[in-house]
Amino acid sequence: MTGASLITEARKRAGLTQVELAARLRTHQSVIARWETGRTRPDFDTVQRAVRAAGFELGMTMAPSDDHDLSLIRRELSLSPQDRLSEMVRAVRATDAMANAARG
């Protein structure tokens, strides 16, 4: 997620126009527009101030990287369309069998 998208999201969630957010930040609407369109890249402190001016806090966490989904995508893309379809049919049948077993 970019600084531009964070600012835009916060502004829209707050129901603010660019003019209103600019007023809260004591700047001009054109500055907000340049941030939101990516013509200029606000630094982290600026993004944090803009999000706060919209009434939100910017929370950050650091989590371990997980490439599991990427591995699954690469595996699926290595299969032919027919093989992908066959695997999908097998998965549906296995799910149905588990559902039937659970019902008793």
Which pLDDT belongs to residue 16? 98
Threshold 0.75, pTM exceeds:
no
| Alpha-carbon separation of residue 53 from 1, 42, 58, 75 (angstroms) | 19, 15, 11, 44
Q: What architecture (CATH level 2) is domain 3-53?
A: Orthogonal Bundle (1.10)
More confident residue, 94 or 63: 94
Rounded distance, CA 50 to CA 25, Å?
7
For 22-39, what is each residue's pLDDT tens digit?
Answer: 999 999 999 999 999 999
Neighbours of 48 (CB within 10 A): 16
Q: Which of 30-34, 65-69, 90-94 has the lowest mean pLDDT?
A: 65-69
Q: What is the pLDDT of residue 1?
A: 85
Tell me if 22 sits within 8 A of 7, measured CB to CB: no
Per-residue model confidence (pLDDT) at position 8: 98
The ranges assigned to domains in the chain are 3-53, 68-103
